[in-house]
Amino acid sequence: MPTFGTLATPVGVIGVISDRTSITRLGWRAPAPVDADPSPDPLLDEALAQLRAYFAGDLTAFDLPIDLGVQTAATQAVLTALHETVGYGTPVTYGELAARSGTAVPARGIGSIMGANPIPIIVPCHRVVAGDGLGGYSGGAPGQGLATKRWLLEFEGALPASLF
């Protein structure tokens, strides 16, 4: 039975879902599962603690078991490559991530996969950028996707702070 918790962050309130063995979902619009178990979950507590530490500037790498759910082989490969090879404050382009994944997914297809990432921030899709700018971002509060991506990249030191 899944467990659910929320955390207020500088980029909005995020919800985290755990199945007690892995983190399965994180999002700004992640509703509590209807069958959420209210009993304590040490993994969920640890995930929320690590996210708190990340937003406090004290954590640069998450150490949590994750489950990406049912995905195509290509999507699984791309998200795994992102999770395992793209470190804090180090953006990569859509094309670079495509190459790292070892798949035949074109750079444009990488953007769609990033939009389907069930565990943003922990699986850092905000670090994937276009060759000529930020690219897109479906995370964040409604209507705040690109502002959220910019904030996360600035916070990690991957972008200079915006003047506006």
Mean pLDDT for each consecutive 10-residue tract of the chain (164 residues)? 95 96 92 88 98 98 97 96 96 95 92 94 96 89 92 91 61
Q: What is the pLDDT of residue 163?
A: 56
Q: How far apart are CA 36 and CA 91, in angstroms?
A: 35
Q: What is the pLDDT of residue 132?
A: 87
61 is catalytic: no
* Residues 100, 81 contacting (CB under 8 angstroms): yes
From 125, 128, 129, 152, active-site residue:
125
Q: Which residue has the tokens 């599962």?
A: 33
Q: Which domains does the chain have, with CATH numbers?
A: 3-55 (no CATH), 73-155 (1.10.10.10)
Residue type (1 letter), 96: E
Tell me the whole-structure pTM to 2 decimals. 0.93
* Residues 154, 161 contacting (CB under 8 angstroms): yes
Q: What is the pLDDT of residue 160?
A: 75
Q: How far apart are CA 31 and CA 35, in angstroms?
A: 11
What is the Cα Rg of the chain in Å? 15
Q: What is the pLDDT of residue 108?
A: 87
